Structure 1
Amino acid sequence: MKISIVTVSYNSADTIKDTIESVVHQKDVELEYIIVDGGSTDGTVEIVESYGDKIHQFVSEADKGIYDGMNKGVAMATGDVIGILNSDDLYTNNEVLKNVLAKFEDAIDGVYANLVYVDQNDLNKVRRTWISGNYIEGSFKKGWMPPHPTFFVRKKYYEKYGSYSLNLRSAADYELMLRFIHKNKINLAYLNEVIVKMRIGGQSNASLKNRLKANKEDRMAWKMNGLKPSPLTFIRKPISKIGQFFKR
């Protein structure tokens, strides 16, 4: 089974080498690595190009933002399974993708796992730990979601249900997983391992103002899919993250 990993970048010279190294050194997998750059001017392009044919597909051009870049990468992918790894994230070890693919049995459509948030400058300093837990149907109504960089899904479902919405600025990953998992009920498997390190400081959690904007987009995600959330869904979603600070 072939797996395609898509990394979207823009002026990521300070972090993208860690990302690339974590992907190209994965063991025992048929891997396609795609990098979609938004027209960087800080040396990102030169770093990517220095890896030669280890990067199987690379494009650098102006785009409409990170989700547009993800859509380009998904469209370019030729693997049976697709994963998204941002240009400031990295896999925790060189057997991550092998372990992910081992979960894809005939009846499994998607796999997700655990994630740690790490210090910007010290990748071994864990600030938060996101333990996803087993998915139970209806969990999205209780504020649950898997960490997006740990979410892998068969390409055929992008073709069947669509890619990332460009109408959302920070919650298109949430909307896509809501659409795939909650609305269309793809069969999931949980890999109970920490497989991704994410540098702390995500856009939606950077300030109270951004958190309120993200909450508004979460509501839009449900409305776009013709779904009705629980009255407490949008309260439980940020509250569910509090426990991450106590799991280091």
Structure 2
Amino acid sequence: MKVSIITVVYNGAEHIRDCIESVLNQTHPTIEYIIIDGKSTDGTVDIVQSYGTKVARFISEPDKGLYDAMNKGIRMATGDVVGLLNADDFYRHNRVIANMVALFEKTGSDAVYGDMLYVDRTDTQKLKRYWRSGWYREGAFKWGWMPGHLSFFAKRWLYEQYGLFRLDMKSAADYELLLRFIHKNKAKLSYMNEVTIVMRAGGISNSSVKNRLRANRDDRLAWELNGVKPYFFTLWLKPLRKLTQYITKPPELHQRDDL
């Protein structure tokens, strides 16, 4: 099974090498690695180009933001499965892709997802947050559930049939896409039940009341756009569920050789 991994980056020279190495060190033999750069000016381009043909596709040009760049990469992908890995982040161990592929082959699923760790930007041994996605049950989105979108590996045909990220959804674009694929169109899911991605803390924050209200509005729009209705409490339960991510401890590193 061929897997396309897409990294989008803009001025990410500080951490892009860790990200690239974590992909190139994967044990799965058939990985198409695509990097989409937003015309960086900090040396990112030189770092990526130093890997030569180990990076299958690389473009550096202006874009309309994170999700526009992701869409460019998805359109380029030729793999059976598509995964996303941001430039600040890295896979937790070198069998993540192999374990994911094994689960696809075992279950015949349309998509596979796992768990994520958020760590300090400079000290990656310092845990900030553990996103345990847990097992999916139909209707779980109505109870505030969603998997971390960077832990989400999807068959390429899902994007071809149901569409890419909506740029008008801004920071809720990942939520809207997962809602569309999983809740509305009933993609068959399998849970890896392991930490797949380590993410450096940062990015768009919903910590302030103003940002949370904006996010709540965007989340509500995601339901409306897909012609589905949440419960009256869904959009408030969603951020409340994240509170447990700050107190739950992750399991020790393991490599799931039992799939």
Structure 1 ranges of 4+ moved more than 6 A: none
How far apart, CA to CA, are the structure 2 residues paired with 1:145 and 1:17?
A: 29
Give the aligned residue type for 1:100.
M
Aligned-pair CA distance for 1:187: 0.3
Matches within 5 A, 1:82-231: 82-105=82-105, 107-205=108-206, 207-231=208-232
The Cα RMSD (Å) is: 1.1
Give the aligned residue type for 2:3.
I
How far apart, CA to CA, are the structure 1 residues paired with 2:45 and 2:208?
A: 30
How far apart, CA to CA, are the structure 2 residues paired with 1:89 and 1:211?
A: 24
**Structure 1: gaps (5+ residues):** none
How far apart, CA to CA, are the structure 2 residues paired with 1:29 and 1:179?
A: 31
How far apart, CA to CA, are the structure 2 residues paired with 1:211 and 1:120?
A: 23
Q: TM-score, normalised by structure 2?
A: 0.93
Give the aligned residue type for 1:57.
R
Matched, 1:65 2:71: no
Give the aligned residue type for 1:130.
W
Aligned-pair CA distance for 1:206: 5.1
How far apart, CA to CA, are the structure 2 residues paired with 1:212 and 1:89?
A: 28
Give the aligned residue type for 1:222.
W
Aligned-pair CA distance for 1:49: 0.7
Q: Which residue of 2 aligns with 1:21?
A: 21
Aligned-pair CA distance for 1:168: 1.3
Q: Which residue of 2 aligns with 1:52?
A: 52
How far apart, CA to CA, are the structure 1 residues paired with 2:71 and 2:95?
A: 26
Q: Deviations over 1:53-97 (max 9, x none)?
A: 111000000111111101000000000000011111110011100
**Structure 2: gaps (5+ residues):** 250-259
Q: Deviations over 1:127-147 (max 9, x none)?
A: 111111100000001100000
How far apart, CA to CA, are the structure 1 residues paired with 2:75 and 2:209?
A: 35
Aligned-pair CA distance for 1:217: 1.1
How far apart, CA to CA, are the structure 2 residues paired with 1:184 and 1:29?
A: 31
Give the aligned residue type for 2:73.
G
SS in 2 for 1:112: strand
